[in-house]
Structure 1
Amino acid sequence: MVVLQTVPSGSPAQVAGTFALFALFFTVTAHLAARNVLGDVEIKRAFAVGPAVPAISFVFVALSWPAALALPLALAADFGLFRYVYRQSNKLTAYLTLIHAVVSIILGVIVFGLLALIQSAPG
Structure 2
Amino acid sequence: MFLLQAAPEGPLAVAGTFASFAIFLSVTAHIAARNVLGDVPIRNAFVVGPVPAAVSVLVATFAAETQLPIFLGVVAAIVLDGVAIRALYDESTRMSAYITFIHVVVSVILGTIVFGVWALAITAPG
TM-score, structure 2 normalization: 0.89
Given the alignment, which residue of 66, 77, 91 partners 2:94? 91
Deviation at 1:7, TM superposition (A): 3.7
Hey, what does 1:66 align to over in structure 2? 69
Number of equivalenced pairs:
118
Percentage of pairs with the same residue = 51
RMSD: 1.3
Deviation at 1:63, TM superposition (A): 1.9
Deviation at 1:53, TM superposition (A): 1.1
Deviation at 1:6, TM superposition (A): 3.6
**Conserved? CA contact 2:22–2:53, under 8 Å:** yes
Q: List alignment gaps of at least 5 residues for structure 1.
A: none
TM-score, structure 1 normalization: 0.91
Deviation at 1:37, TM superposition (A): 0.3
- Distance in 2 (CA, whole Å) between partners of 1:97 and 1:18 is 22
Hey, what does 2:24 align to over in structure 1? 25
- Distance in 1 (CA, whole Å) between partners of 2:120 and 2:98 is 33
Hey, what does 1:8 align to over in structure 2? 8
- Distance in 1 (CA, whole Å) between partners of 2:111 and 2:35 is 17
Moved over 6 A (4+): none
Q: List alignment gaps of at least 5 residues for structure 2.
A: none
Deviation at 1:8, TM superposition (A): 2.3
- Further displaced range: 93-102 or 64-73: 64-73
Hey, what does 1:42 align to over in structure 2? 41
